Structure 1
Amino acid sequence: MLVYAPAALLFLVLCWRVLRERRKFSNAVLLGLVALCALVAWISELISSGSASGKVIAVSLLALAALGTLLLVCFLFSNGLKMVRKEGRSPTNLLSLLAGVSVLALIALLAAAAVVRSPVLLGLGTTALGLACYLSFLFLSLLGYSFLYGRLQVRRKADYVVVLGSGLIGGSTVPPLLASRLDRAKAVHERMVRRGGSTVLITSGGQGPDEDLPESHAMADYLTDRGFPADLIEREDRSTTTEENLRFSKAIMEKTGPGYRCVVVTNNYHAFRAALTARRVGVRGQVVGSPTAAYFWPNAMIREFAAILDAYRRTNVAVFLLLVAAGVLVWATR
């Protein structure tokens, strides 16, 4: 059982860090390391046992990995085509397709390197495989921790519920994505009021160049049309990004006092990144997510992942340069 000690130790560290501050990307990395260490320990036990069943399981895992890669490519292409049909051909809607193409390109590069065995292809293959493993680990860690974060309960009372804007249809109409956030915010507000709080709901969103009114005003109208008290709504109508949503809403909330508490509402795919941003700008509160259409979620998660990679660009550039150096070393030694 000692082989599982690293995973157990990392799990205890993860629990301690989540209790102290759940809004950290390092928590996601720790969760990924826990899973990786546990998987390596399990496979090590299978190999060291020398039993026929261990070998069968090891071969089955390899076959499952190959089948999983094939299914992943099919899923990415299918989801990408559905996104184009339903949402249009904007660059952000093509991320699933681009991910599928990237996986196929990686497989082709590795196959060519294995067959031709030229120094250049081996060097490129080493770098590409290392980068794919690194990004896959981070993405799976993000998926796992986002799922966990979305299920951690907000147990305290809140002075404010903040709804993040997401754009309007036709310049004035709340789209289904934003309606989902508003419905969830209304439910969260009702729960906070039942706990005895005098909670105010902040609709946050400015006016885009193609919009007839600020998003926050359309969001407030959506709520009041469904019976929400107008006197419990405040409008933050200057922001154009998630960070501005949170910074400008924070300025409103701090009028109550520095000890305010809030709950931020956005869509489930966006909740963890919004939590990271909330921590960075000093907002005192957690983020909860509302449901998102199943076809939209994979592409949106890829976009969230790209945004998080950009937020930690220095670390990621350093890792990329190390992987390039490994590829150059393989090329030089062939």
Structure 2
Amino acid sequence: MTSLLLLAAALLLLLFAGRFRDDRRRFGNGVLLGLGTLLLFAGSFLEFARFHRPVAQAVAGATGVAAVVSATAVAGALLANGIRMVRAEGGRPANLLSLLAGLGVLAVLALAVVTERTDQGPLRAAATAALLVAGYLAFLFLCFAGYAALYQRVTARRPVDFVVVLGAGLTNGSTVPPLLAARLQRALTLYRRQAARGRPPILVVSGGKGSDERVPEAEAMAGYLMARGVPEAHVLQERASTNTGENLAYSRELMERIRPDYRCAIVTNDFHVLRAGILARRAGVPGEAHGAPTAAYYRPSATLREFVAVLVSYPLANLAACAVLAAAGARAGWYG
């Protein structure tokens, strides 16, 4: 059993390395890395347990306690962050994700505790199903967060023809807010670094005019860059897009007209980097995403939003996995 687990881990990690070298912009890479790492730890632990069973049992018990304590702490942190998000950013659905996630974690823990104390078949079935689905989602989230962090740290630094800056909402209908300013500053860094080598890229600012905005986001972004010394000839505006997918598709059309064999960098905020890379791959945009820093209080909710968006982009696979796990958990809990 141990040998099979370690062999499977090695194969998964080798597959991850090959896919990562081929194209980093795949969520599946993160899942392969997570599965390989999980099997590697499981196999190593079982091998250790063969020779040090008492110690292994103590470690397993301590790990279980640590998992419960950690889950409770994470729930508390999510609730606190959710309250702060509502106070700072308002009660829009996207700002409630931290709060809802914290309540969800507490609900699963409470259901497990009640089940342990009452030991009733229906409760056991519900608790086991909930724990399996929650475990699946937690595993995918760790894969997403871990791979997003890895992706940001190994983004290629080669010269590019264009730097695409993805838009975000404007303040008071025309002012660049801090979130968008961070993206523009990151783009300026890339621009100046390459310009110092004698090959300045064109900055493509991408974003249309929202219903509550007085000017297109691209116009406000272009003004921000030119006010900081970027020549007008080095700024290209894409004014029609309304979301990230359109940002990339419409920007691709503009870049292809100027240089069909172009290479680009895509700039967004750090929490959005992996999904931007995934969408760029799907849109046929030859470029890696680069992240700009985000306020610490904003990052948890934004990361959860990105994770949900990635899950929704694979609806059949995730719904099927959750349905199978829930059914298996309910059956095991009922007859357990």
Aligned-pair CA distance for 1:320: 2.0
Which moved further from structure 2: 222-231 or 267-276?
Answer: 222-231
Q: 1:101 aligns with which of 96, 100, 103?
A: 103
Q: Equivalent residue for 2:159?
A: 157
3-state SS of 1:260 partner: coil
> Take 1:81 and 1:328, find their aligned partners in 2: how far apart are those partners?
33
Q: 1:74 aligns with which of 66, 73, 76?
A: 76
Question: What's the TM-score once normalised by structure 2's chain length?
Answer: 0.94
Number of positions where the alignment pairs a residue of Structure 1 with one of Structure 2: 334
Aligned-pair CA distance for 1:91: 1.4
Aligned-pair CA distance for 1:117: 2.7
Query: Counterparts in 2 of 1:86-97, with a 5 A limit?
Result: 86-97=88-99
Q: Equivalent residue for 1:125?
A: 127
Q: Equivalent residue for 2:20?
A: 18
Query: Counterparts in 2 of 1:250-261, with a 5 A limit?
Result: 250-261=252-263
Q: Equivalent residue for 1:244?
A: 246
Whether contact under 8 Å (1:119, 1:330) holds in the other structure is: no
Q: Equivalent residue for 2:193?
A: 191
Whether contact under 8 Å (2:191, 2:200) holds in the other structure is: no
Identity of aligned residues (%): 44
**Deviation per residue, 1:242-294 (Å, 9 max, x gap):** 00000000000011233110000000000000110000111111110000011
Question: What's the TM-score once normalised by structure 1's chain length?
Answer: 0.95
Q: Equivalent residue for 2:301?
A: 299
3-state SS of 1:163 partner: strand
Letter of the 1:42 partner, please give it.
Answer: S
Distance 1:321 1:61, change over 3 A: closer
Structure 1: 5+ residue runs without aligned partners?
none
Whether contact under 8 Å (1:157, 1:195) holds in the other structure is: no
Query: Counterparts in 2 of 1:177-216, with a 5 A limit?
Result: 177-216=179-218
Letter of the 1:150 partner, please give it.
Answer: Q
Structure 2: 5+ residue runs without aligned partners?
none
Letter of the 2:194 partner, please give it.
Answer: M
> Take 1:130 and 1:54, find their aligned partners in 2: how far apart are those partners?
24
Letter of the 2:179 partner, please give it.
Answer: L
Whether contact under 8 Å (1:83, 1:94) holds in the other structure is: yes
Aligned-pair CA distance for 1:88: 1.4
Q: 2:55 aligns with which of 53, 56, 66?
A: 53
Q: Equivalent residue for 1:230?
A: 232
Aligned-pair CA distance for 1:328: 4.7
Aligned-pair CA distance for 1:62: 2.1
> Take 2:256 and 2:144, find their aligned partners in 1: how far apart are those partners?
31
> Take 2:270 and 2:200, find their aligned partners in 1: how far apart are those partners?
26
Whether contact under 8 Å (1:46, 1:58) holds in the other structure is: no
Whether contact under 8 Å (2:155, 2:289) holds in the other structure is: no
Which moved further from structure 2: 220-229 or 242-251?
Answer: 220-229
